């Protein structure tokens, strides 16, 4: 199983801590079945960390007319809203909530060019909080396709997630289905789409990044 590069340091540090604690407990606790139980718990915890940083093989959907899910998760918001940071007008917001068990990489939803990127430090409200989109730690990315249509993608940290990674830079080209970022441990992705977009996804749909169609231009 392939692992995301963002997990390398976390996995190494976690392994060292778990092994160190087990060695210490083994020397302090004379009852071996307790030590064995703790060792099993340590292995399960380490397995969950490995699982979190997994990168399953995928063949991305490539279609210039489609807006593909930028992440795994569940669709929790579909509504018309005012987008205040970049567009400063009304857009259709589609939000995807990622639980700690989802794959936490992000993929470009369309082909095009990165017109805007900005990182915002912030709070760590739970990812489904209505104000998390504007108050939490987040990164905003705007992509323009060859027809001049723009969409905004926002990575949002949650109560558990404490680090957002974005590989994008303003002015560079991007390819639909190519990885552009990673959020560590539970979070949300917001899409802000043109009002004339045809929304294909529905509330509570479980989607897969780079594979599931969210909308069409």
Q: pLDDT tens, 58-101?
A: 999 999 999 999 999 999 999 999 999 999 999 999 999 988 88
- DSSP-assigned beta bridge partners for residue 183: 164
> Comparing 2 with 144, which gets the higher pLDDT?
144
Identify whether 197 is a catalytic site residue. no
CA neighbor of 65 nearest in space, from 96, 108, 107, 111: 111
Average pLDDT over residues 182-191: 83
Q: Please check whether residue 57 lies inside any domain of the structure.
A: no
Which range of 2-16, 26-40, 183-197 scores highest in mean pLDDT? It is 183-197
> Comparing 47 with 158, which gets the higher pLDDT?
47
Which range, of 150-154, 155-159, 171-175, 189-193, averages the lowest pLDDT?
A: 155-159
Same-domain check for residues 146 and 199: yes
> Comparing 25 with 7, which gets the higher pLDDT?
25
Residues sharing a CB contact under 8 Å with residue 162, sequence separation 6 or more, in sequence order = 124, 137, 184, 185
Q: Please check whether residue 188 lies inside any domain of the structure.
A: yes
Cβ(193)–Cβ(91) below 8 Å = yes
pLDDT at 122: 65
Q: Please check whether residue 82 lies inside any domain of the structure.
A: yes
> What are φ and ψ of residue 211, in 5° steps?
-120, -40
- Expressed as residue numbers, the domain containing 37 is 5-52
pLDDT at 93: 97
Distance between CA atoms of residues 145 and 179, nearest Å = 17
Instruction: Summarize pLDDT for 198-215 with one digit per residue, the tens.
Output: 999 999 999 999 999 999
Catalytic residue chosen out of the listed positions 133, 139, 168, 187: 187
Instruction: Summarize pLDDT for 146-162 with one digit per residue, the tens.
Output: 999 999 999 988 655 55
Which range of 56-70, 126-140, 155-169 scores highest in mean pLDDT? It is 56-70
Residues sharing a CB contact under 8 Å with residue 45, sequence separation 6 or more, in sequence order = 14, 18
Cβ(75)–Cβ(205) below 8 Å = yes
> Comparing 43 with 143, which gets the higher pLDDT?
143
Confidence (pTM): 0.83
SS (H, E, C) 57-88: CCCCCCCCCEEECCCCEEEEEEEEEEECCCCC
pLDDT at 134: 58
Same-domain check for residues 93 and 198: yes
Number of separate domains in the chain? 2
pLDDT at 34: 83
> Comparing 104 with 94, which gets the higher pLDDT?
94
Same-domain check for residues 97 and 180: yes
The alpha carbon of 85 is separated from its chain's Cα centroid by a whole number of angstroms, namely 20
Same-domain check for residues 202 and 105: yes
- Domain CATH code at residue 128: 2.70.70
pLDDT at 46: 87
């Amino acid at each position: 199983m392939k692992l995301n590069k963002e997990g390398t340091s976390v996995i190494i540090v976690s392994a060292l801590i778990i092994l160190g604690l087990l060695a210490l407990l083994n020397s302090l606790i004379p009852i071996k079945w307790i030590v064995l139980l703790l060792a099993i718990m340590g292995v399960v915890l380490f397995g969950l960390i490995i699982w979190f940083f997994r990168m399953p093989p995928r063949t991305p959907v490539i279609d210039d007319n489609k807006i593909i899910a930028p992440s795994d998760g569940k669709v929790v918001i579909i509504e018309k809203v005012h987008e205040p940071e970049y567009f400063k007008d009304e857009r259709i917001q589609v939000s995807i909530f990622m639980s700690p068990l989802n794959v936490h990489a992000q993929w470009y939803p369309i082909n095009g060019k990165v017109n805007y990127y900005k990182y915002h430090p912030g709070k760590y409200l739970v990812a489904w909080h209505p104000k998390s989109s504007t108050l939490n730690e987040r990164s905003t990315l705007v992509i323009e396709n060859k027809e001049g249509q723009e969409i905004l993608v926002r990575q949002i940290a949650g109560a558990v997630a404490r680090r957002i990674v974005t590989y994008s830079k303003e002015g560079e080209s991007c390819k639909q289905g190519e990885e552009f970022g990673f959020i560590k441990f539970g979070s949300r992705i917001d899409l802000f789409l043109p009002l004339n977009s045809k929304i294909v996804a529905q509330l509570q749909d479980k989607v897969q990044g780079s594979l599931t169609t969210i909308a069409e231009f």
